[in-house]
Amino acid sequence: MNGLARKLVAEFLGTALLVAVVVGSGIAAQQLSPGNVGLQLLENSTATVFGLAVLILVFGPVSGAHFNPVVSAADWLLGRRQGTGLSATELVSYIPAQVAGGVVGSVLANAMFDLSVFQISTHDRITSGHLLGEVVATAGLIAVIFALARSGRAALSAATVGAYIGAAYWFTSSTSFANPAVTIGRIFSDTFAGIAPGSVLGYIAAQILGAALGLAAITWLYPGSAATADNVTVPHESAEQLPASS
């Protein structure tokens, strides 16, 4: 298996497991704390914080642990002038792997809790406040990731990104999806963590806008960001550096 294939498998598995954590913990929260939405959100966000941190540590050295199309796109865009970050080929390969992983993660969570495997969510989330929440959540996520890379602290990304997402569950009205692949994946579970198809395009548009704002802020605050694009989300080897299988 060549280096790019390894990266794509890492992004697929990482995103699938991330969505399985988000959706699975949401299902468990519904079952364990019926009628108590605040406690459900606490249970859901706590599992996500720890799950995301572990997944970054496991898959980060292979692919960078993006698990998120807007992170991958920002990494590609930021590194264009200096030849760092993702290549165009990697970018257009990462995104389908991440989206496919998101869908599989929801299906896996449904199956683990003995629910109908294939579901479509009826949980409408589209309000102006939710969309603003997604802009803020995604802008903050991009700023955190690239600030750590620029300041030589990318090794702290597992804990820091997990902590930010956990906090953003609570300070944003949307509960911080901040990820188009996760958003699409969560269509396929009609549970606490799901999102109705009619809300998805608005969320993704808000996420793209948020990513652009976060990237604009970080390039102004850290003018040398392009030189560190290879360290997003965590330092990892290029496809050419990854050892070939025997």
pTM: 0.91
Residue 228 has a pLDDT of 64
User: Six-digit token pair at 158?
Assistant: 């597992």
Cα(240)–Cα(89) distance, rounded to whole angstroms? 13
Instruction: Give whole-number Cα distances, 50 to 111, 159, 193, in Å.
Output: 22, 8, 17
Cβ distance 204 to 180 under 8 Å? yes
Q: How confident is the model over 150-180, as pLDDT tens digits? A: 888 888 999 999 999 999 999 999 999 999 9
Residue 223 has a pLDDT of 80
Three-state DSSP class for residue 244: coil
Q: Helices 128-150 and 157-171 sit at what angle, rounded to 10 degrees?
A: 160
Q: Is the pLDDT of residue 239 over 60?
A: no
Which domains are seen in the chain, by residue range?
3-231 (1.20.1080.10)
Cα(238)–Cα(137) distance, rounded to whole angstroms? 29
Cβ distance 74 to 215 under 8 Å? yes
Q: Which residue has the tokens 């109705």?
A: 196
Q: How confident is the model over 31-59, as pLDDT tens digits? A: 999 999 999 999 999 999 999 999 999 99
Q: How confident is the model over 206-230, as pLDDT tens digits? A: 999 999 999 999 989 988 666 666 6
Average model confidence (pLDDT) across the chain: 91
Q: How confident is the model over 89-139, as pLDDT tens digits? A: 999 999 999 999 999 999 999 999 999 999 999 999 999 999 999 999 999
